[in-house]
Amino acid sequence: MEENTTNMPMLNSDAPRFTADSTFGPLKLTDYMGKWLVFFSHPGDYTPVCTTEIISFSKMNNEFEKRNCKLLGLSVDSNPSHIAWVNDMEKNAGVSVPFPIIADCNKDIANMYGMVNDMHDDTKTVRNVYIIDPNQTIRCVLIYPATNGRNITEILRMVDALQMADNEGVATPANWVPGSATIVPSPKNYIELMEKMKTNNSNNCMDWYLCFNKENSDIRRW
């Protein structure tokens, strides 16, 4: 069996830089410096699952914008194909696509980001999602199969969670949503552990290693 040589950028690595043509004209990754970016690939234009995703991203674009976050799509289709597909969605679904879709016919960017999976199909991109922070560091990587569309609300939630972690120096528990309790960082050494035990508040701690930033947090729901 041939070895899969797909390279994928790692978490907390620099996002690979590129220039590209798109439905909004030429662009480059550095255009998004200082903003959050959700950079996602789709297998192909005029395909049913991809169409629902582009429409859903478009409908939620304002929510991403509120978070200083831009959307950027990519597939290996040509720019004329992208433009015609976008026009088709506006004509038939009444949805204007407010973000660029990159044309990557030579798969240069797709290969750079590990968006082409030889074990799946070496001619199309899979459903990768990269959440890139304002310093252009990759903070989250999600991969979905061709048969299943992404949950755009979950991607937005991840942007919220990453921004909360950065702004407040906390972690977020399972099923966290904005407004709910966050997790206090665990002690880094035994001295910090002993200090935490002295101030342990049973109303918001399960034990020394799991404490929340809100009293009476229902830890049993995790």
Catalytic residue positions?
Answer: 50
Q: What is the β-pairing status of strands 19-22 and 27-28?
A: antiparallel
Smallest CA-to-CA distance from 6 within 138, 146, 143, 149 is with 143
Distance, in Å, from the CA atom of 78 to the CA atom of 75, rounded to the nearest integer, reads 8
What CA–CA distances, in Å, run from 208 to 171, 180, 185, 204?
A: 15, 20, 10, 11
Residue with tokens 């990453």: 162
Phi, psi for residue 192 in degrees, rounded to 5: -65, -35
